Structure 1
């Protein structure tokens, strides 16, 4: 057999009557759609249901598949300990999926489980499914900090595993939408929230899975969504398939978006290999970007790409502009992937003989030695954008009034600790924010005595 269907569902615990105690009536459309999904699943009679959840263990560089034969969970955390969900895992399918992912160079598997108990994003869908159908096993899959396209390709591994088995496989992508839809909601309002929900539900209704892959990471984060990567894994599992899509419901009365969507496979479609489409577009965009890069950014890119591919630092290329080799300065190299920070390392003052050498060293450090991220892999290189900040001479200041977050960066120091924040960063709008973040980076308490310096930068993109 193969994959027989896919569904997108939300996971608000209050939709469970024992938790909601009447509040669930305010999302009746979602309840009705959930029951419709459960009825459709009963008709499909899957042998295995794959649940993709944002609320199991999550790693920055590893997609986790729950191991073992059984698991159980309850809604004790939400005031309903008597509502319990038990599952038998399809360990055979989980192992085969892990093997296929490894063969594709995707960092995924059954290692690293922290909590065996089922999470609520798994239990809420199963609560409704169990009312109509119970003769199935489960594979529980978590999300990660890996690129969206890596999640999509992991979904393709699900499809490959499904095509190998005699079992009927169904996938349930559990995920809420924006958590910032209304000012009176628990998470407040952001302008990105309603826009994200409109665009993502439109993509669901049209089975436009390429749109799932192209949301900007900063935009998605500002919208405070939690389900997008679940949807992307599901989309990968439907790679190359003709799909009939139906948006069954959408509402968000509590300030969080809840969507229910159904996808029926109707045949094959060679125009729906969305990872290949995106990769082709990205390569074309990258060539245009490289043509516009100045010598600073070009050197940073060359340095990291050479190091990742050879594990050796690059020799200083010929023909570098005089200003890169006739000057010393502190330099920061920043990397972004899909609009999200992927690494940033720099030096406050020069440590190398030239700006060029500073760029070479810090570009490699940003990609391979930033402790906040796993080292950049060769597969990620085409998805990276670079910026290079060349620092001016720091000037001592005595007051935050002498700062301008757009024009000046700030350095905070004690005798033993130093922290730096670059200027003109997204989300930093006041000197107080700027200094506070710099202090946090340095590990300096705001109650400690510290000095401040400001500096200007020339930013190259």
Structure 2
């Protein structure tokens, strides 16, 4: 029986937070409402720990980077607003996840900073983790940054190792795949406009709506390069952690109000 009690696909655009919206609450209103609902469902599932898969954390090239300090702390600023968040790290679970992945031959690095333990053992909490966590229960976390260059099969395998680690630890685990989608929806954005952005996001939305998360691995390298989604890797880890026979996927919303796509989905284990 899985110890994964709830999972979700959650975006991390800064304006989702009212404090960083510059007063323009209508800009990402649909997404904000969905994030509140995901937070409500996660709280109802009563996890002991949250595992956050982020594309923007500290990276170890070619390896899954598992943060292993005492605490993580971060700050995000936008539109004149600032938010800060700090969480204790469940180091025992972080180490167990890394050990299980290594057993499967998946490259993994345990990361720390400054001191091995104590008050100076703190790593940065990036916006890809902080913004989804803003809506979630205040419990310890494990923050993981999947690598971009690895074959997609390695991400699914890492997800399987993560699920085994959760079961072995006997911890009720909530899993967050922090994911924004195509970043080339608007010429005014930092990556410019490309017509494949709408194509890729429509395909992603269809796969998620169908519950077929594994199908994301079939997106071609050319499409990924031109549309620039940053969610594939995290969601494929989620797919490995909760395989098709053990999950129910519900797409709550999709919108692209600026230059990148935002999608919220609840992934409920069927055999908790």
Q: Shared fold by TM > 0.5?
A: yes
CA deviation vs aligned residue, 1:386-429 (integer Å, no higher than 9, x gap): xxxxxxxxxxxxxxxxxxxxxxxxxxxxxxxxxxxxxxxxxxxx
Deviation digits for residues 102-142 of structure 1 (CA, Å, limit 9, x no counterpart):
1111110313769821100111011122xxx32x1100000
The corresponding residue for 2:16 is 15
| Counterpart-to-counterpart distance in 1, 2:32 and 2:252 | 11
**Structural mapping, 1:144-223, within 5 Å:** 144=147, 145-223=149-227
**Deviation at 1:182?**
3.1
Alpha-carbon offset, residue 78 of structure 1: 6.5
* Structure with greater contact order relative to length (CA < 8 Å, sep ≥ 6): 2
User: What's 2:128 paired with?
Assistant: 121
| CA gap 1:92/1:241 in 2 versus in 1, 3 angstroms | farther
Structure 2: how far apart are the matches of 1:117 and 1:173?
A: 18
1:364-389: CA deviation from partner (whole Å, max 9, x where unpaired): xxxxxxxxxxxxxxxxxxxxxxxxxx
Gaps of 5+ in 2: 115-121
Distance in structure 1 (CA, Å) of the matches to 2:79 and 2:133? 16
Q: Counterparts of 1:195 and 1:76 in 2: how far apart (Å)?
A: 31
The residue number in structure 2 matching 1:249 is 253
The equivalent residue for 2:67 is 66
Equivalent residues of 2:71, 2:123 under 8 A apart: no
3-state DSSP of counterpart to 1:179: coil
Q: Quick one: structure 1 residues 41 and 17, their matched pair in 2 at CA, closer, same or farther if it must change by over 3 Å?
A: same
User: 1:278-317 maps to which residues of 2 (within 5 A)?
Assistant: none
Whole-angstrom CA distance in 2 between matches of 1:259 and 1:76: 22
- The alpha-carbon deviation at position 186 of structure 1 amounts to 4.3
Mean Cα deviation higher: 67-76 or 238-247: 238-247
Cα distance in 1 between the residues matched to 2:80 and 2:48: 32
Instruction: Say if 1:241 and 1:265, in contact at 8 Å, map to a contact too.
Output: no
Q: 2:254, 2:113 → 1: CA distance?
A: 33
1:15-47 CA-to-partner distances (Å, cap 9, x unmatched) read 222221123421110010000001101110100
SS at match of 1:110: strand
* Distance across 2 between alignment mates of 1:182 and 1:176: 15
Partner of 1:94, secondary structure, is: helix
Q: Distance in 1 between matches of 2:80 and 2:60?
A: 28
Against the structure 1 CA distance between its residues 227 and 220, is the aligned structure 2 distance closer, same or farther, given a 3 Å change threshold? Answer: same
1:32-431 equivalent positions in 2, closer than 5 A: 32-76=33-77, 79-81=80-82, 83-111=83-111, 116-129=123-136, 133-134=137-138, 136-144=139-147, 145-239=149-243, 241-267=245-271
Once residues 25 and 143 of structure 1 are traced to their aligned partners in structure 2, the CA distance between those partners, rounded to angstroms, is 32
Is 15-24 or 147-156 further displaced after alignment?
A: 15-24
Residues 158, 237 of structure 2: 8 Å contact kept: yes
Quick one: distance in 2 between partners of 1:108 and 1:79? 37
CA 1:61–1:112: 2 relative to 1, 3 Å: farther
> How many positions carry a matched residue from both structures?
263
Considering only CA atoms, is the larger Rg found in Structure 1 or Structure 2? 1
* Partners of 1:191 and 1:112 in 2: CA distance: 41
TM-score, scaled relative to structure 1: 0.55
- How many angstroms does 1:221 deviate by? 1.5
- What is the CA–CA distance in structure 1 between the aligned matches of 2:112 and 2:141, rounded to whole Å? 19
